[in-house]
Chains A and B, each alone.
Chain A
Amino acid sequence: MSDIQFDGVTKVFGRGGKPFTAIGGIDFHVNDNEFISVVGPSGCGKTTLMRMVAGLETPTDGEVRVGGEKVTKPGPDRAVVFQQFALFPWKTVRKNITFGMRSRGASKAERDEAVAHYLKLMKMEGTEDSYPHQLSGGMQQRVAIARSYATDPGVLLMDEPFGALDAQTRTIMQEELVRLSHVNPRTVLFITHSVEEAVYLADRVVVMGRNPGKIREVIDVASTRKAEKWSEEPIDDVMEMPSFTHLRGQVWRLLREEMGEDI
Chain B
Amino acid sequence: MDKRTPWGRVVTRSSITGVITVAVVIALWFFLTSVTGIVGQYRFPSPQDFLASFVRLATEGYAGGTLIEQTLQSLWLVACGFFTAIVIGVPLGFAMGYDRRIEAFLNPVFLLLRPIPPLAWIPLAIVWLGLSDGSKILVIFVAAFVPSVINTFTGVRNVDRTLVEAAKVHGAGTSRLISEVYLPDAAPMIFTGLRLSLQASWTTLVAAELVGAFLGLGRVLSTAYRDINTAMILVAMVVIAIAGAFTTILLAQVEKRVIKWRTT
Contact = CB atoms under 8 A, between A and B. Distances in A.
Contact of A103 (B176, B181, B260, B263): B176
A103 B172 contact: yes
A86 B176 contact: no
A13 interface: no
A147 B172 CA distance: 13
B8 interface: no
B180 to A, nearest CB: 7
B171 A86 contact: no
A67 interface: no
A90 B181 CA distance: 9
Nearest to A98: B170
Nearest to A99: B170
Interface in A67-91: 74-76, 78-80, 82, 84, 86-91
A80 B166 CA distance: 7
B261 interface: yes
B165 A88 contact: no
Main SS at interface, chain B: helix
A86 B162 contact: yes
Interface residues of B, number: 21
Interface in A196-234: none
A114 interface: no
Nearest to B172: A103
Given A76-B171, A133-B263, A82 B162 contact: yes
Contacts of B58: none
Given A84-B162, A86-B163, A133-B261, A56 B168 contact: yes
Nearest to A104: B171
A16 to B, nearest CB: 17
B239 interface: no
A100 B171 contact: yes
Contacts, number: 67
Interface residues of A, number: 28
Contacts of A28: none
Contacts of B180: 88, 91, 99
Nearest to B162: A86
Given A86-B163, A88-B184, A74 B263 contact: no
Nearest to A80: B169
B167 interface: yes
Nearest to B168: A74
Contacts of B171: 74-76, 100, 103-104, 151
Contacts of B263: 89, 131, 133
A76 B176 CA distance: 14
8 contacts: A82-B162, A82-B166, A86-B166, A89-B261, A90-B184, A90-B260, A99-B180, A104-B171
Given A86-B163, A90-B261, A103-B171, 4 more contacts: A74-B171, A80-B166, A103-B170, A147-B170
CB-CB nearest 8 A-B residue pairs:
A103-B171, A100-B170, A76-B171, A86-B166, A90-B184, A133-B263, A74-B168, A90-B261
